[in-house]
Amino acid sequence: MIVGVNARTLLSGKLDGIGWYAHETIKRLSASHRNVTFVLFFDRPVHADYSFGPNVRTVVFGPPARHPFLWYLWFERRLPAALRAHGCDVFYSPEGLVPSHPPVPMVSVLHDMGYEAVPEQVDALVLRYYRRYFPRGARASTRLVTVSEFARTDISHRTGISESAITVAPNAARPIFRDPVLATPPPSYLLFVGTIQPRKNVSRLLEAFDKMKYITNAAVQLVVAGRRGWKDADVDRTLAQMTYARDVRFTGYVSDEELVALYKGARAVVQVPLFEGFGVPVIEAMAVGTPVIASNVSSLPEVAGDAAILVDPLDIDAIAYAMERVISDDELCADLRAKGIRQAAQYSWDHTAEILWQCITEAAQARR
C-alpha cells in the first residue's frame, strides 16, 4: 500500500501544535508499518530532520502554500495531481486544509473550528477561505478525525456531519516531557506557552499578571514562550500600560530542551485561551509535573480533568486570583502536580497512531 501524506506543516525549528501532531504520528506510522510506503508531500525544501525511514519518500512541489491563493493552488490543483502521479492508495493529512475533491480516499484531521468561534480574530481573506474549504474538506474525507470530544461535538454542530462519523485521536505529550519534577519550584516565574495570537488571550493574561503583582507584590515574573503570530498589537498596547511590564519576559520560539527547562522551572503554567481544540501545553506541563491554570471553556476542562485550576478566560480577577493561589500555596501545587502527572499519562502518541492507522486502513479498503 502507498500512503500519501500532507507534510506541509513539518517546518524545522518552527513546529507548532499541528506540526508536532504531524511529526509524532508520521514517525510512528512509518516505523510500525515497514511494509507500507509513505510518500510525504512538502511545499518547500525538506530538512534532514524528516527522514523518517527507508519506507518513506519525500516529494517537494510548489508553490510554498502560506496564503489563501497559494493554498488553493497547492491543495486543489497540485496535490491531487501528485497523489495520482505517485500511485497513492490513500491520503493522510494531519491538518484541516485538504483537497475538496481528492482522487483517493482521504483521512484528514480537523483540529478545531476556532475560526467560527472567534471569527473577528482571523484575517478576512483567510476567514473566507476557511469557511469555504474547511467544511468541504471535512465532507470529502473518507474518515474525519479530530483531537477531543469537545472538538468532535463542535465540528458536528457546525458542519452537520454526524458525531458518529468523526473519530477522536488526541494529542499527547512527547517523550521529552515524560520526566516529571519531584518538587514544586519556588515562585520565581509563571509560564505561558504558545503562538501569540488573539485567541490565546495573552492581553488578558498580562492584565491579570499585573493585577496579581499589584495585590501581592510577589517577586515573580511572567515568561511568554512562543513566536509572534498575527493580530498581536493588543499585546504591545497592554504592555505599554502595565505597571510591572519589566517583569514580563518574551523568549520567542524555543527549542525542545529550552521548553522542558522552562516547564520544570515554572511555578505554574497559565493557559487561558478563548478557544482550543485540545491545548497541548496543558498536557506537556502536566507530564513534567508543573501545576496548571487553564480556561474553563472549549476543550480545556476535558483535557485537564480535575488536575488544573479552571478559570473564566474573560475574568481578569479570576485569573489573577488563581495566579496568587499557586504562588502562595505549596500544598495546592503539590496536589496539582500529582494529579497532572496521572492525567497526562492517559494520553499517548502510540495510541493515537494506532487509531489513525485503523482509519487509514478502513479508508483504503473503501476504494476497493
Euclidean distance between CA atoms 111 and 166, whole angstroms:
11
The reported pLDDT for the residue numbered 197 is 84
Euclidean distance between CA atoms 287 and 347, whole angstroms:
10
The reported pLDDT for the residue numbered 15 is 80
Quick check: pTM over 0.75?
yes
Question: For 103-200, where are the alpha helices, taking DSSP H only?
Answer: 114-117, 124-140, 149-159
Q: Where in the chain is the domain with CATH 3.40.50.2000?
A: 2-172+348-366, 175-344
- Helix or strand holding residue 263 (H, E): helix 256-265
The reported pLDDT for the residue numbered 48 is 80
- From first to last of the 368 residues of the chain, give the pLDDT tens digit: 999 999 999 988 778 889 999 999 999 999 999 999 999 999 999 888 788 999 999 999 999 988 899 999 999 999 999 999 999 999 999 999 999 999 999 999 999 999 998 888 888 999 999 999 999 999 999 999 999 999 999 999 999 999 999 999 999 999 999 888 878 788 899 999 998 888 899 999 999 999 999 999 999 999 999 887 666 778 889 999 999 999 999 998 899 999 999 999 999 999 999 999 999 999 999 999 999 999 999 999 999 999 999 999 999 999 999 999 999 999 999 999 999 999 999 999 999 999 999 999 999 998 65
Could you please state the CATH topology (level 3) that the domain comprising 175-344 is classified under. Answer: Rossmann fold (3.40.50)
The reported pLDDT for the residue numbered 367 is 66
The reported pLDDT for the residue numbered 231 is 67
Partners of 248 in the beta sheet?
222
The reported pLDDT for the residue numbered 33 is 97
The grid coordinates of residue 327 equal 504562588
Could you please state the CATH topology (level 3) that the domain comprising 2-172+348-366 is classified under. Answer: Rossmann fold (3.40.50)
- Helix or strand holding residue 250 (H, E): strand 248-252
The reported pLDDT for the residue numbered 268 is 97
CA distances from 3 to 65, 106, 361, 364 (A): 21, 10, 10, 9
